[in-house]
Amino acid sequence: MLRRFAKEKTAVFGLAVIVFFALVAVFAPLLTPYDPLAQDIPNGLAPPSAEHWLGTDKLGRDIFSRMLYGARISLGAGLGVVLMAGLVGTSVGIVAGYVGGWLDEALMRITDIFFAFPSLILAMAIAGALGPSLQNALIAVSVVTWPVYARLIRGQVIVLRDREFVQAARAVGVGHTQILFRHLFPNTLSPLLVQASFEMGTVILAVAGLSFIGFGAQPPIPEWGVMISEGRNYITTHWWLTFFPAMAMLFAVAGFNLVGDGLRDVLDPRLRR
Amino acid sequence: MTAFILRRLGGLVFVIFGVSLLTFFLAQLVPADPVAAALGSNARDAQIEAYRLQLGLDQPVAVQYGIYMSRLVRGDLGNSIRTRRAVIDDLRDYLPATIELTMAAMIVTILLGIPLGIIAALNRNTWIDAGARILALIGGAMPIFYVGLVLLGVFYRQLQWLPGPGRLDSTVPPPAHITGLYTVDALLTGNWPVLANASAHLVLPAITLGLFSTAVLLRMTRSSMLEMLGQDYVRTAKAKGLSERLVIGRHVFKNALPPILTIIGILFGSLLSGAVLTETIFNWPGIGRYATTSVTTLDYPAVMGVALVAAVIYPLVNTLVDIGYSVIDPRVRAN
């Protein structure tokens, strides 16, 4: 499988980008030349130079340092939401698919309700009700995205539950819990991994969008969406304030999307495009 | 066919009921007291108590939901705390702006996404295909709020080729109200200067909002076309001497169309989501900006109204797409 993935050039490029961002996020304190929150107002709005590689913002904060810390927040946020939403969605999906009947019907109608909302409007309403903060934005985006996993995994389990290996397990008296977690869950991992990769990109953009309109991370947190929001009035005069965080976001999201594409092609060749 | 439509509409009624329950629950989460917020800081205790009784807030939550629902079925979404108007009236003012913007973005999406997808598929594994795929990759990963800011900075502030935020120049009066969509109303009343101005104001926000969905549609069109191009009937059509144009237009594209239609319906939801950010950047007076301001001021009757309307529009559009789809493709009805 690894060998097949390695043949997908664009996916390998995407993976390299993700690994780069992950390393940057982990080692941000060692790599940053300045404190991301340290102000140096006389030196504000300085263009990229040898001293400040990506320039400074209006408060004189080093953009390079803020961007590296931003990777920490965005990747962490993506991972947190994907884990939270993935856990809830997968549990609901496995139960719905395995038990079937009225429970399946009820759980799927609940996912219909969540799918009805344009995601950002619901996320904004939740984040606003809980109070604007990064943590509440993550809760909001998780609430909005769990049904995606629930639908996906339910579909997988419905296909799998009547297969011979599950019937055999049942025939020899294996309990429901063990069938669910030992036999069904591992077989849903491939589509789950593909979905999670795509969702990482979606979540990074959603959290940044919420932060941009004021319902996510709050200043002075060096989150990429916050950085673009803070630099919005300088877009034509001091382009570096917004350009670098936007490019970081573009590469990170594109990286996850490319890996998602590659994984899908490798894990499910029927979907190869 | 009737049974299919009835089944879909029945599902829609259930979703609307669920959506109302969820928005009601959300409003219960808000830490602020809606009555104190509505009456302001100068309100006396007696006034607050009277208003509380009037809204039914002294009742148990289940009864409150009953009151809310009985108002809802009569089309009463309550009053906005901020604008002090009926939420339904506010929405009636703001919704046409969002519809106009999403329609324009959808036109951008279809005009760019489908042709580029077809061109990419017909030139598979060439530099044209690579270019289209890179475009799709960037469009799908770019934060649209940055794109909006850049377009506004370059084409409005620097080059001054296109007008800035808002639906019309401040010197241009809105057209006579028929639909609330300025371009349509100007067209219907033959008001050409307003039509030109309103259309020019739509260009940048429509491109901003349509970028992501263009990327998705491009990919979908490309893959759907590629799948059809490899089918036996295409080879047969070519073998019997049909022109390339006829094979692509009459056979390949027609068969590649159903998944493209479905994705267009689904993309409508992402456009409504994106409208929140686009309207904020372009100061566009639609329900996205109304929602943002309402959430900021904890005006939850307004937020519930927007959420409800948005959550009804999206499945409604998808139901219509499904019904349209079943007309095109009889196999859907059978399933």
At A194-243, the pLDDT tens digits run 999 999 999 999 999 999 999 999 999 999 999 999 999 999 999 999 99
A131 Cβ under 8 Å from any chain B Cβ:
yes
Most confidently modeled of A75-89, A158-172, B16-30? A75-89
Hey, of A13, A115, A117, A234, which one would you mutate to test binding to chain B, going by the most B CBs within 10 A of its CB?
A117
A116 Cβ under 8 Å from any chain B Cβ:
yes
Q: Quick count: other Cβ atoms within 10 Å of Cβ A262?
A: 24
Q: A93 near A185, Cβ under 8 Å?
A: no
Hey, of B295, B299, B314, which one would you mutate to test binding to chain A, going by the most A CBs within 10 A of its CB?
B295
Q: What is the pLDDT of residue B330?
A: 67
**Between A112, A125, A224, which is nearest B307 by CB?**
A125
Measured between alpha carbons, how far is B306 from A37 in angstroms, rounded to an integer? 37
Domain B89-334 class in CATH: mainly alpha
| Contact at CB, B298 and A128, closer than 8 angstroms | yes
**Residue closest to B198 by CA, chosen among B108, B93, B100, B289:** B100
Written as tens digits, the pLDDT of chain B (335 aa) is: 788 778 878 888 888 889 889 888 888 887 777 777 777 777 788 888 888 787 777 888 889 889 889 988 898 998 888 888 999 999 999 999 999 999 999 999 999 999 999 999 999 989 999 999 999 999 999 999 999 999 999 999 999 999 999 999 999 999 999 999 999 999 999 999 999 999 999 999 999 999 999 999 999 999 999 988 888 888 888 888 888 888 888 888 888 888 888 888 888 878 988 999 999 999 999 999 999 999 988 888 898 899 888 888 888 887 787 777 777 776 666 55
Strand partners, A56: A62
| Contact at CB, B143 and A131, closer than 8 angstroms | no
Q: Which band of pLDDT confidence, cut at 50, 70 and 90, is reported for residue A271?
A: low
| Helix residue spans in chain B (DSSP H) | 2-29, 34-39, 45-55, 61-72, 87-122, 127-141, 144-151, 182-188, 192-229, 232-239, 244-246, 254-281, 287-296, 300-328, 330-334
The alpha-carbon gap from A106 to the nearest alpha carbon of chain B, in Å, equals 11
From residue A38, alpha-carbon distances to A41, A226, A246, B191 in Å are 10, 16, 22, 56
Q: B277 near B145, Cβ under 8 Å?
A: yes
Q: Which band of pLDDT confidence, cut at 50, 70 and 90, is reported for residue A117?
A: confident
Q: Quick count: other Cβ atoms within 10 Å of Cβ A83?
A: 12
Strand partners, A62: A56
From residue A181, alpha-carbon distances to A101, A148, A172 in Å are 20, 20, 16
Q: What is the pLDDT of residue A107?
A: 94
The alpha-carbon gap from A177 to the nearest alpha carbon of chain B, in Å, equals 30
Q: What is the pLDDT of residue A103?
A: 95
Burial class (CB in 10 A: 0-12, 13-18, 19+), A233: middle
Q: List where CATH 1.10.3720.10 sits in chain B.
A: 89-334
**Residue closest to A259 by CA, chosen among A2, A13, A3, A1:** A13
ipTM: 0.93
Q: What is the pLDDT of residue A63?
A: 95
A131 pLDDT more than 70: yes
Q: What is the pLDDT of residue B14?
A: 85
Chain B residues near residue A126 by CB distance under 8 angstroms = 26, 29
Q: Dihedral angle at the C-alpha atoms of B122, B127, B128, B129, nearest 10 degrees? A: 60
Q: Which band of pLDDT confidence, cut at 50, 70 and 90, is reported for residue A273?
A: very low
Chain A residues near residue B277 by CB distance under 8 angstroms = 120, 209, 212-213
Chain A residues near residue B158 by CB distance under 8 angstroms = 236
Q: What is the pLDDT of residue B8?
A: 77
Chain A residues near residue B307 by CB distance under 8 angstroms = 117, 121-122, 125
Q: What is the pLDDT of residue B270?
A: 83
**Between B145, B273, B315, which is nearest A119 by CB?**
B273
Q: Per the structure block, which two tokens stand in for A218?
A: 């709050």
All domains in chain A, ordered by first residue: 56-271 (1.10.3720.10)
Q: Per the structure block, which two tokens stand in for B190?
A: 């033959």
| Contact at CB, B15 and A116, closer than 8 angstroms | yes
From residue A255, alpha-carbon distances to A15, B125, B136 in Å are 6, 21, 13
